[in-house]
Amino acid sequence: MAEVLTPMRRQILEFIITCQRERNFPPTIREIGDHVGLKSPATVANHIEVLKRAGTSKESPAAAHVDGSTRRREPRARSAHPLHPLRG
């Protein structure tokens, strides 16, 4: 089995933790890639996914960025009136 916490993944995890502490929200996939020298967002996302599966980033909200969002969002309120075509 491959080593989970490779030097690259350690660097990614440390950057996520630092950003979370300093800015109160995690870095984007692109910011992580720029910081560690990776150009492919898919490669960064893969590293984060491995960290998540290994349980090293449970406390890190970086998962939101893997899903494509930039910040945690409140659930949308449902409309009292569902959309229906007008009849006339």
- Indicate the DSSP class of residue 85: -
Contact by Cβ (8 Å): 71, 25: yes
Contact by Cβ (8 Å): 61, 47: no
**22-77 pLDDT, tens digit each:** 999 999 999 999 999 999 999 999 999 999 998 865 444 444 454 444 444 445 55
What residue spans define the domains of the chain?
7-66
Give the model's pLDDT for residue 59. 47
Q: What CATH number should be reported for the domain whose range is 7-66?
A: 1.10.10.10
**Confidence label for 3 from pLDDT (cuts 50, 70 and 90):** confident
Contact by Cβ (8 Å): 17, 62: no
Which range among 3-7, 15-19, 25-29, 49-53 shows the weakest confidence by mean pLDDT?
A: 3-7
CA distance 66 to 70: 9
